[in-house]
Chain A
Amino acid sequence: MCRIGAIKSTEYIHPSLTLKLMRSQQKGHDNSGFAIVMQDLGGIFENYKNLPILSMACSDSGMKYAEDLLHKKGFTRTFQYNMEVFPDENLDINPMPHYVFEVFQYPKNYKDAAREEKENLLLDTRLELRKYLEENEEGFVYSFWEDVISLKEIGNPNDIGKYFNLWSEETNLKAKILTVQCRQNTNYDIVRYAAHPFFLQGYTTLTNGENTFYEKNKLAQEKTFKGYIGFESDSQCFLYTLHYIHKILKWPIKYYKHVLTPLPFEEINKRNDKNVLSKIKTSLSNWEINGPNTTIGVLPDGTMLNVADSKKLRPTVICKKDNMVIITSEICGVNEIMPERNIEEDIYTTERETVIIDNNLNIQRIPQ
């Protein structure tokens, strides 16, 4: 079972906190990888808020291809941060030759482009790069977006932390939103793309769950939007559904829950909004997730959310102190890094609600 964690803070925090959050949640051999997405960046990236950052792990030629491609498209590199690594033969990690975070200026002809055009360019570029890297086995590109960096690696999370020196708080890597998972996929091959958190155009999700309608989801989603690709993990479907509902359909976020785990028709028919809900359920029947799950999501504006399924609850707890909210699978992780909080205010997300955390860390519980 996946353990997932997310931290949202009003101040910039270091990824070491996520390692501490997840360390005590590990069970047995549940330590096959580490992946993190950091949004609303501070530290060395704080001055590049409106510029896209490319996050990738690749070979020499993969890196060269990426630079050539971006150059060809008119991007100019503004800042490059190569992760400093600390190899040790005793560490359990399958490292890649390069871990790159590069900040780019948009092409000049995009200076006055609409937001949507820029977003489209970033996505197309990432997809093109991914296609090349995948076909030639030259590496992995995780995100190409403003104010976001991603890192994924296979191995023991403790060792991965050591390899990248993430246990030390001295590095200048910081963010206000950190989402993390310390485990790879169990159902499918262990590949880096299969590791949560998944990211697409400002949307991030992590899921502890089993998507028993994976096949239906995949068949419906891959025809819907060019960015819905990969499907190395059945949990990617949760991300694409979030993106579809909120970005493409532009529906209020509370309807995400109505798509993932819709109410039975019997319950819908008792409600005032039955016409809307039954239409959502029928038109999006192929997007339903029919399995145990809990999902943590992040929206482009920084809003964080949590939903859980209606039948076989996968646990999450939401804990808060003054400047920070944590959503994670097990309470032991929170106790380690936020022991001083008022535990009476801890929230265990129920199967019939969406919990929303806004940028002021106000928590709202929206019943389904």
Chain B
Amino acid sequence: MNVNNISKDDLPWIVEYDSEKCMLCGRCVAVCSFGAIKVDVQKRKKVKALSNDKGFSIDSDQKAIPVIKQVVDENDFCRGCGMCSKVCPNGAIKAVRNKTEIFGTRYRAKTAQSVKRGGRSNLHTEGRTLDKIKVGRISQMTDPSLDALRHTFDMRTNFGRIVSPEELNFDIVNGELKENNKKVPVNSSIYPVIIGDMSIGALSPRMWEAVAIAVAYLNEVKGIPIRMCTGEGGIPDRLLKSKYLKYMILQIASGHFGWNRIINAMPDMKENPAGVLIKIGQGAKPGDGGLLMAEKNVRLIQEIRGVPKADLLSPPNHQGLYSIEESVQKMFLSMNCAFNFKVPVAIKVAASSTSVSVYNNLLRDPYNIVGGFFIDGLQGGTGAAHEISLNHTGHPIVSKLRDCYLAAVQQGKQGQIPIFAGGGIGMNGNLAADTFKMLCLGANGVFIGKLILQIAGCIGNDYGKCNACNTGKCPIGITTQNPKLIKRLDVDTVAQNIANYICATDVELKKLLAPVGNSSLPIGRSDALVSVDKNVAERLKIQHVC
């Protein structure tokens, strides 16, 4: 016996198995993408004491029976995904969370490696701020509520640099305002929810395709002008040259993966993309670049990104950028030039104590070419990160958004660089409520990622369940490049579920707009919000109620 080896009791999930109920169909072992259970044989011995007229004797039955056994290994361990119980016809097997939480310690001691995983922060040290806020300003009497079902609502927000009215390119001709030749920045009106920004490498091709189909359907059929961000790594050539490119915000991150293909496709593009997002940082792992493990870097991904099969580690920052001013001059300018100043170019940063300084500086951009400020808070998800980053770095999004908005107000420039906020939006399941509250606090919109995966069927949660997006072994087929696992995901069903969820969100958003009496989005209308938490109310400058 070696007491220093990892034992079953050390694992984060314990597989409970009842051989009496098991019919030995083997489905659980077949479905487990982590190889965390295996078929084994147990020796059973039953001792019988016999007593008859010849006297007393002892006998024993010995037999070998097949069983399902949990694998004890620091790499192939049970993630609690629950696929085994899902397929078991007799309810003979299930994974149970091990409360000891010693695995991380054992893993580090054994491998000298940091723990990596996907998902969100699993530390629940703080409550959700958004859940402490209510929509408390209900229209009554003098300003009656609207009818959520019958009234027309203008569910659009701005994306792209907005100039002050004095800077608009208008001449007055015969009592009418007419545009003149003066150049003004491009902007578009889009839905206040952006699906972002998960790459084809992080997601399986089927999952990514399902999101793209849902986005196209919502735009073309339902009239909901939602946009999705591609994530780093480019997109298929066929999509780049299709009319659906107009719904895609192309991301350029520090690895610049996929941009060779994008640039080559430019002459053949039928439509401009919806925007360009320069990713500087990510809320779930601030300070880290993208991380695509070699296991997921399959041939398709290699082709799109133009890379060999290897771990793809994007640098923590864009090389050659040393200041905000420089980033404006280099990256914003070059990205604007690339699309002839016809596409909004925005920036995404991890929420940080310094976000307001960055935003202030961008607001002073003399060229008016910063088209959006995406702030990503710490409760966002990721496909792969060091657990220490996920659990111990980052900044909550709500107060940071508020600070940035109020900093713009201070300069009289609110709304000029639209703010989009992400990081845990919709993690309580209700995207509409979170979106509405964030809009009232000053966001022009929100962006969501993990929620989309959950809509697609992701069974991971923030209590250590699954969170194995980094392994390439996603049991649902969402964050994997394994053809067998990908086949588990039905593209059409996922696309339909995403479209349905957004349609439901649209209805629910209207159900919040109606009682506050607004027919357009209440961006910056914090008087609509109240909080029962005095600290939250004071910090966010909203009304405290009790």
Contact = CB atoms under 8 A, between A and B. Distances in A.
A105 B526 CA distance: 46
A79 interface: no
B64 interface: no
A288 interface: yes
B179 A215 contact: no
Interface stretch (A136-144, A174-182, A271-279, A294-302): A271-279
Interface stretch (B118-126, B136-144, B501-509): B136-144
Contact of A214 (B178, B516, B519, B527): B527
A95 interface: no
B127 interface: no
Given A212-B143, A276-B178, A249 B522 contact: no
Given A212-B143, A215-B526, A265-B156, A291 B517 contact: yes
Contacts of A292: 143-144, 517
Interface residues of A, number: 43
Contact of A290 (B162, B412, B518): B518
A186 B184 CA distance: 42
B142 A186 contact: yes
Interface SS of chain A: helix, strand, loop or mixed? loop
Given A282-B187, A283-B168, A216 B144 contact: no
B414 interface: yes
Contacts, number: 111
Interface stretch (B146-154, B385-393, B422-430): B146-154
A284 interface: yes
B172 interface: yes
Contact of B523 (A255, A264, A285): A285
Interface stretch (A65-73, A163-171, A217-225): A217-225
A280 interface: yes
Interface in A18-65: none
A223 B165 contact: no
B139 to A, nearest CB: 7
A278 B143 CA distance: 27
Contacts of A291: 143, 517-518
B415 interface: yes
Contacts of B172: 250-252
Contacts of B142: 1, 186-187, 210
Contacts of A265: 154, 156, 189
B517 A290 contact: yes
B176 interface: yes
B35 to A, nearest CB: 52
A311 interface: yes
B525 A251 contact: no
A276 B412 contact: no
Nearest to B179: A275
A215 B152 contact: no
Given A276-B170, A292-B143, A286 B524 contact: yes
A312 interface: yes
B363 to A, nearest CB: 13
Contact of B165 (A186, A249, A252, A278): A249
B158 A251 contact: no
A286 B521 CA distance: 11
A276 B175 CA distance: 13
B417 to A, nearest CB: 12
A17 B184 CA distance: 51
A210 B143 CA distance: 6
A220 B416 CA distance: 11
A286 B47 CA distance: 85
Going nearest first, the 8 A-B pairs with the smallest beta carbon separation are A223-B412, A210-B143, A264-B154, A215-B527, A283-B165, A265-B189, A252-B175, A290-B518
26 contacts: A1-B142, A212-B139, A213-B522, A214-B527, A219-B414, A220-B412, A223-B411, A248-B166, A249-B165, A249-B166, A252-B175, A264-B152, A265-B154, A265-B189, A273-B177, A282-B158, A282-B187, A283-B164, A283-B165, A286-B414, A286-B415, A288-B520, A291-B143, A311-B146, A311-B519, A312-B144
Interface of B: 139, 142-144, 146, 151-152, 154, 156, 158, 162-166, 168, 170, 172, 175-179, 184, 187, 189, 223, 409, 411-412, 414-415, 516-520, 522-527
